[in-house]
Every structure is written in C-alpha cells, then in structure tokens.
Amino acid sequence: SQQGEEDPQALSIQEGENATMNCSYKTSINNLQWYRQNSGRGLVHLILIRSNEREKHSGRLRVTLDTSKKSSSLLITASRAADTASYFCATGGGSQGNLIFGKGTKLSVKP
C-alpha cells in the first residue's frame, strides 16, 4: 500500500535558503521517520518523530507531525550544497514490521 507520499517530487533552491518537504500517509502510525539518500548510495536515518510528538529538532532539521491530517514536514534550514540528496519519509519499522517508504523528494541545493 502507498503509505508515505512526499511532495514536492523535486525541489531546487539556493544555498542558504530553507527547504521544506512534506509527507502524507494513510494509516495510523506509531512513528514517522525521515531518511536521506545521496545519489547511488544507501539510506541514512535523519530523524524519527513519534505519534504523540508534534515537533522535533535535530541540528538544522525540524520535523513536524500532524496526526489529524496524517502529514509530516521536514524543514532544512540554511541549506548547503552538501544537503543535495533525495529525502524519504517512512512509517512502521523495527518491531512493528517493515518500513514503508514514500517516493521521495529530490532536493538540489545550488551553491
């Protein structure tokens, strides 16, 4: 089933700008995770937000979760060229079963 669906599909910004990516999901969740994938590489876990949390920060990352709208957003502040990657939201995982990924947002940060 299609669980996480990100938008936009692609985002191009200048270095220093903020980047916001959104994710919607369909079923109830215990948590939602964001992963990053550099081109041709593996997935790197960025941040997890639990269903009873509304906002979480980690460095330049800010994640929000609205369970009533079944949506989450990932904000990267003061973006850098090194942030260029694809970003995926995912639900489930661990002892809860498999992670279901969205299609991802391809972020391009131009120097």
Partner 1 sequence: EPEVTQTPSHQVTQMGQEVILRCVPISNHLYFYWYRQILGQKVEFLVSFYNNEISEKSEIFDDQFSVERPDGSNFTLKIRSTKLEDSAMYFCASYGAYSTNEKLFFGSGTQLSVL
Exposure on the CB side of residue 106, measured as CA atoms within 13 A:
4
User: According to CB under 8 A, which residues from 18 to 77 bind partner 1?
Assistant: 30-31, 33, 35, 37, 40-45, 48
C-beta of 40: minimal distance to partner 1 in Å?
8
> Quick check: 101 binds partner 1 (CB under 8 A)?
yes
Whichever of 33 and 79 has its CB closer to partner 1, that residue is 33
In angstroms, give the least distance from the CB of 46 to partner 1.
10
Least Å distance between CB 100 and partner 1?
Answer: 7
Where are any strands of DSSP class E within 1-111? Answer: 5-7, 10-14, 19-24, 31-37, 43-50, 55-58, 61-66, 71-76, 85-92, 99-101, 105-110
Binding site for partner 1 (CB under 8 A): 30-31, 33, 35, 37, 40-45, 48, 88, 92-104
